[in-house]
Structure 1
């Protein structure tokens, strides 16, 4: 999701797919990847932590 807070301060209409905001969207994706790299985050880490969480959850709930 992406919002133009000047035009839509209540965040009611995402402009993510609006071609007029393509440059902003690309800039935000680039910044996101930079932050992920800085902190050592990755899709592999996301999966690993989710798998570990689900394993503990299932043990606690008898699954």
Structure 2
């Protein structure tokens, strides 16, 4: 029995954001409304870092 259909899973906004960046899409291409957890997750995927760490440079010692 051959079934080529893949199981359907709910969308993963983090993976979607990372995929969008890999395709060269702009950050404002996020399909989720402002203020939603999905948008926050999508942007985390796009940036490759959790929202509270995105765009933050590590501190230097010295």
Specify the TM-score bucket, using the shorter chain as the normaliser.
under 0.3
Larger proportion of helix: 1
Give the structure, 1 or 2, with the largest relative contact order (CA under 8 Å, sep 6 or more): 2
TM-score, scaled to structure 2 = 0.25
Greater C-alpha radius of gyration: 1
TM-score for the superposition, normalised by structure 1 = 0.25
